[in-house]
Amino acid sequence: MRAKRLFDAGETVTTFTGEAGIVIPEPALSAIRTRTREGKRPGRFFAPGCCHHPDYVIQVPVLFEDGTYDVMRAMNIRKAPDVPEQKRAFLQGLIHERTGQGPRGQV
C-alpha cells in the first residue's frame, strides 16, 4: 500500500510568490540534486540535514522554471493544474535534461 501524499510526482505547483514549478519524482531526485543548485526561495526547508528523504506530505521537492530546485514546505505551495501546456512541457523537459534522460523537449 502506497503512503498518502499531498503532491504527486510530475504535478505542477506554484509558490506563494507566483513561481511555477513541477514536483520532482523520487527516482530523479538524487540526480537533480547533484546537477542542479538550490534556489533558496522563501518557504523552503533550510535546516541542515532535514530533507534527505522528502515525504511529499510536508517536504515537497520542486524544480522551478529557472532551473533550480528547492524542497518546499507544503504550506507554501499549491497545486496549479491551470499552468499552460507550453510551460508544463518545458518543466518536464528540465527534469529529463537534469536526470540525463535526453535533451529538453523530448518526453
Residue 103 has pLDDT above 60, yes or no: no
Q: Give the closest residue to 94 by CA, choosing from 18, 39, 15.
A: 39
Mean pLDDT of the chain: 87
Res 5: pLDDT:
80
Q: What is the pLDDT of residue 53?
A: 84
Cell matching residue 23: 514536483
**How far is Cα 57 from Cα 51, in angstroms, rounded to an integer?**
12
pLDDT in tens, 15-56: 999 999 999 999 899 999 899 998 888 888 877 767 778 888
Mean pLDDT over 52-80 rounds to 92
| Domain range summary for the chain, segments of one domain joined by + | 12-99
- The whole-angstrom distance between residue 101's C-alpha and the CA centroid of its chain comes to 17
* CA within 13 Å, CB half, 89: 6
CA distance 91 to 67: 9
* pTM across the whole model: 0.85
